[in-house]
Amino acid sequence: MTPLRPGATIGILGGGQLGRMLACAGAQLGFDMLIYSPEENSPAGRVAAGTWCAAWDNGEALAEFAEACDVVTLEFENVPVLTIDTVEAAGTPVRPGSASLKISQDRYTEKTFLNEQGITTAPFEPVDGPGDITAALATLGGKGVLKTRREGYDGKGQAWIRSAEEAETAWDRIGGAPAILEAAIAFQCEISVIVARGPDGDTRTWAPPRNLHKDGILAVSSVPSGLPKAIEDEARAKAMKLAEALDHVGVLALEFFVLQDGMLLANEFAPRVHNSGHWTPEASQTGQFEQHIRAVAGWPLGDTHRLHDAEMINLIGEAGLVSPASLGPHDTLTLYGKREARPGRKMGHITRRLGPRKD
């Protein structure tokens, strides 16, 4: 494809913090950024050249938005596939396309697809009703995590099952929706790989961060991960393989559990920029937001060389009302412009540079 000319217009489906950071990165490259979001006065809309506030199924608004954009991307993996199809039908390319979305929107399809690519996951079984749980538990060794197939994020839509008696409660807890039961696994740590792929197939990864979750929400990502290079390389190779298998254009994140013996089990992927890559703008040559814009614009990808050791600390709920006096000399603060600090809500993050990269 022909690279977008400087000054072209890029649309983003979704108006949250990821869209906000993408819009700022796109503006730095000289693009006009437009936001489409059902949310009024969205975080991303307040840094963009224009906003369409309309529902995901508003065909007229989508067609108008498509008309205004040279290319459209997304910041939210649960954009309905029909929305993507409507924009594409209006003649504007959407990157990544609906394939990456369709597969990632359903945990069963997602994990099956990963396994088909030779990317091992924890064992899992489909659960279409509470009656399926007993058999699934038996197959998976007597305990596991019940997860809704669709719409779960930040630990929502998940419940532990440690015995058959807990089946009904867990089913109710996740809202009684089609689910999977995933085997309980003992892991030493979690890592993720952020990978970018251009329309020409060029693929780049960043150093995999080690991720610490609290209450199902990412709390801290650190680079370097401290894991042997061979494990990091294997994780990077798997993420690149996934991006190719999806014919993905843009940034994608693949999460892994690292077992005690170093074996990698993929957990899930997000077909977009990712919270565990929020350290990249401050600690590597090219950040994930700029890279995503380069990819969807058909520009050559930037260098992903890591420059600093760093950690990224999420500001969740009340922590988002950060006191500027509490910032350390090596801290870079990013706040998302959200009006209300609700419990569990991601309000911002701090990237702390820990010194020049040592290896």
Query: Residues interacting with its own copies, by CB under 8 A?
Result: 3, 6-7, 20, 23-24, 27-33, 46-49, 285-286, 294, 297, 299-300, 302-303, 305, 307-308, 320-322, 324-325, 327, 329-330, 332-339, 348, 353, 356
The residue among 11 and 348 lying less far from its own copies, judged by its C-beta, is: 348
* Integer Cα distance of 9 and 71 in angstroms: 7
- Prior bond of 130 cis (ω within 30°): no
The residue among 31 and 171 lying less far from its own copies, judged by its C-beta, is: 31
In the numeric block, which tokens belong to residue 2? 């022909």
The residue among 41 and 169 lying less far from its own copies, judged by its C-beta, is: 41
The residue among 46 and 162 lying less far from its own copies, judged by its C-beta, is: 46
To its own copies, the closest distance from the beta carbon of 114 in angstroms equals 31
To its own copies, the closest distance from the beta carbon of 329 in angstroms equals 4
Rounded to the nearest 5 degrees, what angle is found at the Cα of 282, between the Cα atoms of 279 and 285? 105
The residue among 254 and 310 lying less far from its own copies, judged by its C-beta, is: 310
- According to the 3-state scheme, what is the secondary structure of the chain? CCCCCCCCEEEEECCCHHHHHHHHHHHHCCCEEEEEECCCCCCCHHHCCEEEECCCCCHHHHHHHHHHCCEEEECCCCCCHHHHHHHHHCCCCECCCHHHHHHHCCHHHHHHHHHHCCCCECCEEEECCHHHHHHHHHHCCCCEEEEECCCCCCCCCEEEECCHHHHHHHHHHCCCCCEEEEECCCEEEEEEEEEEECCCCCEEECCCCEEEEECCEEEEEEECCCCCHHHHHHHHHHHHHHHHHCCCCEEEEEEEEEECCCCEEEEEEECCCCHHHCCHHHHECCCHHHHHHHHHCCCCCCCCCECEEEEEEEEEHHHHCCCHHHCCCCEEEEECCCCCCCCCCEEEEEEEEEEECCC
* Integer Cα distance of 172 and 351 in angstroms: 38
To its own copies, the closest distance from the beta carbon of 345 in angstroms equals 13
The residue among 214 and 305 lying less far from its own copies, judged by its C-beta, is: 305
Q: In the β-sheet with 32-37, what is the strand arrangement from edge to edge?
A: 50-53, 32-37, 9-13, 71-74
To its own copies, the closest distance from the beta carbon of 58 in angstroms equals 23
The residue among 58 and 332 lying less far from its own copies, judged by its C-beta, is: 332
The residue among 93 and 348 lying less far from its own copies, judged by its C-beta, is: 348
To its own copies, the closest distance from the beta carbon of 202 in angstroms equals 12
To its own copies, the closest distance from the beta carbon of 26 in angstroms equals 9
To its own copies, the closest distance from the beta carbon of 54 in angstroms equals 19
To its own copies, the closest distance from the beta carbon of 128 in angstroms equals 43
To its own copies, the closest distance from the beta carbon of 228 in angstroms equals 25
The residue among 19 and 93 lying less far from its own copies, judged by its C-beta, is: 19
